[in-house]
Structure 1
């Protein structure tokens, strides 16, 4: 069985968040979306569930942390350094924040951190596997 991951994120403005993730290249799956949620497909095995605060609270009594706090950093691989830069630029252009941490360039690995409109932290990263195996 191929495992799938569904990342559930509480969002304050569902339409704004859906537009943000579409700008990053994620596709909406209307089959698993409704007035309180949007299922954003990253790949066949990775989905991001955007949940309004009301819908989120139906799953847990735990408080939603403020946008200035980080609970997780979600790293997502990209095909190239240019794709990392493009994701970071798309985030900045669509209501997110680019480069919330310093750019990391280790030669074999390159990454940039961004935040969505609700402060959820993503790391767009590229790893040159040929350079890794040469070390």
Structure 2
């Protein structure tokens, strides 16, 4: 047996704000949002992240969600094709209202910065030669 697909599921405390943020970054909505869910496609390989309302997410989780102001549940890394592209993403994230938690920096062979979306979910853009 093998899995056909993998996707991420996160919480959105405001579906409209989530839509505005990720649309401003240029990500494409996956289907039509509902009152409990919106999905976005994040890569050429069609990696999807679903954003659920807290009540719906806790139902699926059968537990409580983390407070992203105090704790982290995951960090998604998004690839960039160059150092210059990382810097372009930085400006785009700032303009869309993201919070930069790690300024651009060199890391070994790579170059990266980290940001949080309006709900505090963490991402980083990373350029790594050959990747």
TM-score by length of 2: 0.84
Indicate conservation of the 8 Å contact 1:95/1:117, yes or no: yes
The residue number in structure 1 matching 2:36 is 36
The residue number in structure 2 matching 1:93 is 95
The residue number in structure 2 matching 1:18 is 19
Shift of 1:102: 4.1
- The whole-number CA distance in structure 2 between the counterparts of 1:48 and 1:82 is 26
Indicate conservation of the 8 Å contact 1:74/1:123, yes or no: yes
Shift of 1:82: 2.3
* Gapped regions of structure 2 (runs ≥ 5): none
* Gapped regions of structure 1 (runs ≥ 5): none
Structure-to-structure mapping, 1:1-135, within 5 angstroms: 3-30=4-31, 33-43=33-43, 44-68=45-69, 69-98=71-100, 100-106=101-107, 108-129=109-130
- The whole-number CA distance in structure 1 between the counterparts of 2:89 and 2:3 is 27
Q: Secondary structure at the match of 1:85?
A: helix
- The whole-number CA distance in structure 2 between the counterparts of 1:75 and 1:48 is 13
Indicate conservation of the 8 Å contact 1:91/1:115, yes or no: no
- The whole-number CA distance in structure 1 between the counterparts of 2:74 and 2:3 is 24
Shift of 1:28: 0.4
Indicate conservation of the 8 Å contact 1:5/1:46, yes or no: yes
